[in-house]
Structure formats: C-alpha cells, structure tokens
Structure 1
C-alpha cells in the first residue's frame, strides 16, 4: 500500500476546504486558506502559493461577469411580473379546498416539471443554471405552501444539471462527451467512437437516477416547514404584486431575444444585455432603473461568480503543487492483479480533484493522460475506459461547494435566506449522487 497518497497536498487541501466549509466558514475564505495550506504542504511557501492563486483568478473572471449579468436579467424578468403570474396561478390552484390526493398529484407534478426544466437546460434549451434565478425564487412560497423540502429540490436541480451531459451527446453533453471525454481519450492513444459513449455512460447515469429516486421518495419525502412569513416578505421585496399583462408580454419577448442572442453570439453577457434593453426600449423600465436592477442582480448571482473566481485560483495552486500528477500516477501501482482496486482509485481520485476545482469538464484532461494508458495496459475495453474517465470527471460535480451545479440551486433556493449552501445543497447532493455514481462507475468499469 502506498501511504504517500494520504499526504498528497491536493487531497489534504480538498479535505481542508470541505471541513472549513462544513464549519460554516465562507466558501471563498475556505478556498483561500485551503490554497495556502496546499502550497505549504507541497513546499511552495506562502508568497509562491499566493502568486499561483493570483495567476488563476483570471480564469474565473469571465464566469463571474456572466453570472452578474445573468442576475441582472433575472431581476428584470421578475419585475416584469412573469414569474409572479406563474406563482399566482399556482397559488390559486392550491389555495382551493383540495383533497390530500389532489395535493399529492400537484406536488409530484411540480417535481416532474422542475426535473424536466433542469434536464432541458442542458440540451433542449442549453442555458445551464440561467433558468434557476428566474424560475425558483417566485416559487418559494408555493414550495412553502406544499411543505416541500428544499433539499429535495436542490437534488432535483443538480440531477438535471449533471446527468444529461453525462449520457446525452447534445447540448452541453456534446461538449463533455464528444470533445472533452472522447477527445482526451483519443489524444491519449485509444481509438474510440462517438457511438460507444452513450452506451458506456448509461450505467453511471443509472447511478444518478437511483440517487434522485432516493432523494425524492425516501430521504426528503416528508414535509418540512420554513418561515412562511419570511419567505413571502423576501419574495415581495423583489417581485411586484400588481401584474401588468403588457410587461409580462415584453418579458416573454425579452427571454426569446436573449435566448436567440446566446445561440447566435455564444455570449451570456451580450444575451443578458439584450434582454434588459428590450425592457428599456419597450418602456417597462427607465434607463435609471437599470442601476438598481444591476445592483440587485449582483446581489443575487454575484456570489457565485466570486466563488468561481476563487475556485480558479485554488485550481491553479493545486496544479502548481504537482499533487494532481502524483495522485494520478500512484494508481498505476495497483494495476495488474488488482483491477477492482485500480478502477476504484481512478474514480476516487477523480472525485477528489473535481470536489476541489468544481468542474468535471476541467478534471478529465488532467486525468486522461494517465488513466487511458493504464486502462489499455489492463486490457480494458474502450467502453469501460469511457465509463471510467467520464465517471471520474463527473464525480464531485455534485456535492462540491464550488461547483456551478450546486451553487446554482443554492442561489435560487436561498433567495429568502432559508437554504444553507453546505447543509442543504452540498451534503445532500454529495450523498445522493457521488456515492451511487461511484458504485455505478465501478460496476461499469468492471463489466463493460
């Protein structure tokens, strides 16, 4: 047994990040402290660690700007009354005298809608987390009326943000499967075809499905009460009570133009600006109103951007330590007669790396260069290799405190300050998705 893995600076810094976050230290502060600690453990020194952290900050600047503009557009949509109209219609439906059976069907119809909306955000309408700050905050009073556990909703949203790109080669899945996974495997010397990927990733995806079913029907099926007065007060502060049908229509047009702008120019920033301008040109908002809209948008989504900037700095420090390469290379020592152990370690190391940097898309290129030759040496099939590399990358996207797939749901569900990022999003998604995915990925690597 190579015990040096336990002292790897990347592993220890990720553990420190998770511990500090669990102790409720702000995630950005936790990332900074974990970065310095990782650099010191690798013998880099404090100044060198800080410089590496600074070098990585630029990588998250574009993402932060995207989220700030997305937040502004979300506030504009909410002020148009569109989401308020949806919430009012739902309130009218559940405000009537209904039987427990009708409440049951309404509740699970809403759950089904949220699941489909989240899945569609990765392929049919590839907006990723952009729909969350628009759709979720006005629904919080509805969730409260239904006594819906928001941890369940967090698991639903995270499932839809991750599972489709793992197995469906369209939208974000086209990038992850065809470009990131298959591209990295081919670059590392193994011939694979696009037709092999969906079948290879089906077993890992079923692990995600199992986690979703457990969350919805077992873990969080019981009613949970929140402070209803606080929820309704917070929502009223950002949503107009009076609904202007013309403003709602303008909101629909703004969404369509923003969506078209994103497709045509591949820029969420430009698309958000276009959407806000539709409201200004139509007279729904004055030019001076955009000041407050942007400020509230930064408040809503800017925190995600700052976390992503800090996560980019953390990732750069981890690369500078050399600990990622050391972790990946140590797997080779268990090859040969220990296929099951080797496959498990490949998946586990992928989990650790993604938990730290928060991006499955960034993890695959880091591990494929070693994993693919190792799989070839072990005689694993292309399908098994795809499943191992793809699962190792996807592991940790759920449950990482710095992952967009977890930060996004928190931003929407915590609009009234009653949803904790770590205990209501991070830990539930980690338990319900990483553990089943780790098991399913291991099975796929062993049987394919």
Structure 2
C-alpha cells in the first residue's frame, strides 16, 4: 500500500511534465493507486466520486463570480493604473508589488486566486514591454497565495492555523494559535528567501516573449484603459461587500459563505445591476471552472489514498525504520508530506490526514508539541507550490497564459517547486529539530 502513494504521485508528475492535461493526469494516477491496492473499478469509482469536495468547487465558482462582479465595477482599474505608472521600468518593484497584492487576497480581501484572471491579463503587455520573465511573476503570485497562510493567522491563514490546532487536539496535543504561528514562522521565512532568490537571481534576466510561439488558443486580452479612475458610489458599495465577505469567512471559517455573501451584496447594494447576474456567473464559471474541476479530481484522488490506508502505510513504513533518530524521522515525515500534498494539491485538506499519523510517531520520537506543529504545518504546506493540482499554481497560470505563452508545468509548477518547496523543507526541518 505504501508504494501506491509514491507511484501514483510520481505518475501524475511525469504525465504533467509530458504536458498531459492535469485533470486527465490526476484521474489516471488515482486509478493507478486504486488498482495497486486491489480495488475493483466499481469500488474505485464510488470512492473517487464520494471524496470529491463539491463545497470547494462551488467556492471557486462563487469566488469567480465575486471577482467578476468586482471587475465589472471598474475598481480594479486603480490598481492596474497605479502599477503601470509607479514601476517605470523597475522590474523588482513590480514583482514585489504583485507578491504583496497576492498576499492581500489571503488575509485582507478574501477572493483567493480569483483576482488573478482580473488583475494580471491587463498587465501582460507591460510585462512584455519590460521583458519580465513570467516565471518570476508566477513565483511572486504563488508566494502571495501561500506564504501568508503559512505565517499569518488571519483570513485563510487563520483557517490553516486552526486546522493544525484542531487536528493536533484530536490527537491529544493542545496548542494556542499564537504558538502555532510561532512554529510556522521559520518555515515561512524560508519562502521569503526563495522569493527574493527567484526575483533577483534566477529570473532577473530579460525574456523576450515576442519570440515565443503560443500554445493552444489564446484568450481575449482586454485593452488597457488609461482613462483617469473616478471613485463612485458603486466602488464604495464594492468595498462594503469585500469587507462583509472577509468578516463572514473569518467568523464561519467557510470560504463558500464568504464568497456567497460578497456576491449577493454586490447585487443587493447595486454595485452591479441584478440584470447582469447571469453575465457575472458566466464569467465566474469561465474564469474558475477548470480549476474547480481539477480541485474536485484532486480531492477524489486524496480520498482514494486516504480511505485505502495507503498514506498511513507510507508513514508507518518510512518512520518505523528510523526509530530513535529524530533528525532522520523529521526528514522522512517531511518527504512524506511533500509526496502526499503534491498528489492531493491542497495543504488545508492534507493537515488532518497527516496530523493523525504524525502526532503519535513524533511524540514517541521525543519531539516537543511546537516541533510537532512545525512538522505538520510544513508537511502540509509542502507540495502546495509545485503541484499541478494546486490552486496556488493553477491560479497564476490562469492569469499568465491568456496569450498561450506560459506553460503550467514548466513556467509555474517547476519554478515554484524549486523556490518554495526546497527552502520550506529545509527551514521546516531545521525548526522541527531546534524547537
């Protein structure tokens, strides 16, 4: 059973690198895992479908609608115009600004990845004029989508930290949110270093996209609107809807309720006329539909690995060989987290699975509660960047590939894996040993 996880995730990675559609790669890999543990085809289908996270898919569709409604008010124009005027050839400033804006989508304005297809396409022409390597942009976006929830207990970060807290409590270890935040600070700093290396070292050279042939059918790119931005009543109402969406999401811990609240208020407050509701939802589905389907498949894949006991078998097999060797146990547990999260594509969904397995193993090995929190949080976050099935990589690709010149695997997944998973792994491993 342990080999089913490794082989299926490796297969998904290879298929993706060979440019097989991510959705198809996930389904094939999940079927492979099921067959390796002797599931019948009927049982596999039932297990795969039953584990699909429909609530997550609906959340992405609603977030897409919310983001489309915000875009229709024209309020995002002020951000685009600010960046176009402020950067003045400063490539580093542009990339840092994008990372900061992406961070806001996790902790302040809870639209998650839905802002990317709105904000990034109008900036593509500017990126190309400045000859910015889009791999650097993808890295900046993924940093903003991931690092804030790893380090900051606010918005999606609060949900992530509470998930660690509750999962550890279920296994008998009680920690405060403050203690968990302190446990995740060092791993998060590794991501900061990875971002700076990507921007100022790896992708600092100019890249001419006029020489790159587009793949597939390019989407329409909206023309840049240089007319001065004028703050209107609908923009004020939009801000109210955004604040309400954030409040509901924080209070309930449900992304779907936050997105629904924001979307409904956009119509109730007439920030967007109700007669345009069908247009809003159509844009939301076209913007986030494929991502929602991929996340559905990834959830089903994760369910197959979990329900068949493959993940538990992998953890037990790998840690059982290293009894009494804390450094090696921490290393192996993080490797397991990387493999599992790469396959499932979600750190949030991986935490409860890993916590139930890690707590008894790490406790027996002599790790402190904070060290165990570091292991669980880092192992869960590992693979979120770099995974073909992760929203942290799917989102950036959705915005950067509108002209068909940005490859999901080679231009988003590989760069983010190198610059975030490697430092996150090393810093998380160091912190778990030192705490």
Residue by residue over 1:348-370, the C-alpha shift from the partner in whole angstroms, topping out at 9 and shown as x without a partner, is 10111111111111212112223
Alignment partner of 1:134 out of 100, 105, 118: 118
Query: Shift of the alpha carbon at 1:140?
Result: 1.4
RMSD: 2.9
Query: Deviations along 1:63-104, whole A, 9 cap, x unmatched?
Result: 32332333344344444444456545655667xxxxxxx62x
Distance 1:15 1:204 in 2: 25
- Counterpart among 332, 352, 360 of residue 365 in structure 1: 352
The match for 2:396 is: 409
Task: State the distance in 2 between where 1:146 and 1:33 align.
Answer: 40
Answer whether contact 1:75 1:238 (CA < 8 A) is retained.
Answer: no
Contact kept, 8 Å, 2:168 with 2:355, in 1: the verdict is yes
Question: Aligned partners of 2:68, 2:244: CA distance in 1, in Å?
Answer: 18
Alpha-carbon distance change, 127 to 81 in structure 1, aligned in 2, over 3 angstroms = closer
CA contact (8 A) 2:362 2:372 kept: yes
Tell me the TM-score normalised to structure 2 length.
0.88
Residue ranges of structure 1 left out of the alignment (5+ in a row) = 95-101
Change (3 A) 1:212 1:358: same
- Secondary structure of the residue aligned to 2:107 is coil
- Kept after mapping to 1: 8 A contact 2:139/2:195: yes
| Residues 131 and 207 in structure 2, CA contact (< 8 A), matched pair in contact too | yes
Of 376, 383, 391, the match for 2:378: 391
Q: How does 1:290-439 map to 2 (within 5 A)?
A: 290-439=277-426
Give ranges in structure 2 of 5+ residues lacking alignment: 250-256
Aligned partner (choices 239, 246, 265) of residue 256 of structure 1: 239
Q: What residue is the counterpart of 2:40 in the other structure?
A: 45
| C-alpha deviation, 1:439, in angstroms | 1.3
Residue 11 in structure 1 maps to residue 1 in structure 2: no
Cα distance per residue 1:174-214 (max 9 Å; x no partner): 2222x221222232123434333233222211221221111
Distance change >3 Å, CA 409–CA 254, structure 1 → 2: farther
Deviation string 1:310-351 (CA, Å, 9 cap, x unpaired) is: 112212221232101101212331343422221111001011
SS of match in other structure, 1:416: coil
Post-superposition offset of 1:251: 5.3
Equivalent residues of 1:72, 1:296 under 8 A apart: yes
Deviates more, 1:260-269 or 1:380-389: 260-269
Deviation of residue 424 (structure 1)?
1.1
Cα separation, 2, equivalents of 1:307 and 1:338: 38
Aligned residue runs from structure 1 range 97-112, under 5 A: 103=89, 106-112=90-96
Larger Cα-atom Rg: 1
| 2:386 match: secondary structure | coil
Question: Counterparts of 1:127 and 1:188 in 2: how far apart (Å)?
Answer: 32
**SS of residue matched to 1:298:** helix
**Cα deviation digits, residues 153-173 of structure 1 (max 9, x gap):** 111111122112222222222
Q: What secondary structure, in the 3-state scheme, does the structure 2 residue paired with 1:122 have?
A: helix
Q: C-alpha separation between the residues in 2 aligned to 1:219 and 1:297?
A: 34
Superposition TM-score, scaled by structure 1 size: 0.86
Per the TM alignment, residue 426 of structure 1 is displaced from its structure 2 partner at its CA by 0.9
User: Over residues 24-65 of structure 1, what are the superposed CA-to-partner deviations in whole Å (9 max), with x where a residue is unaligned?
Assistant: 1111111111111110011112221112112122x1x23323
CA contact (8 A) 2:165 2:177 kept: yes
Residue of structure 2 equivalent to 1:157: 141
Change (3 A) 1:265 1:176: closer
Deviation at 1:258, TM superposition (A): 2.8
1:56-205 aligned within 5 A = 56-57=51-52, 59=53, 61-84=54-77, 86-87=79-80, 91=84, 103=89, 106-177=90-161, 179-205=162-188
* Residues 66 and 136 (structure 1), Cα distance of their counterparts in 2 relative to 1, 3 Å cut: same
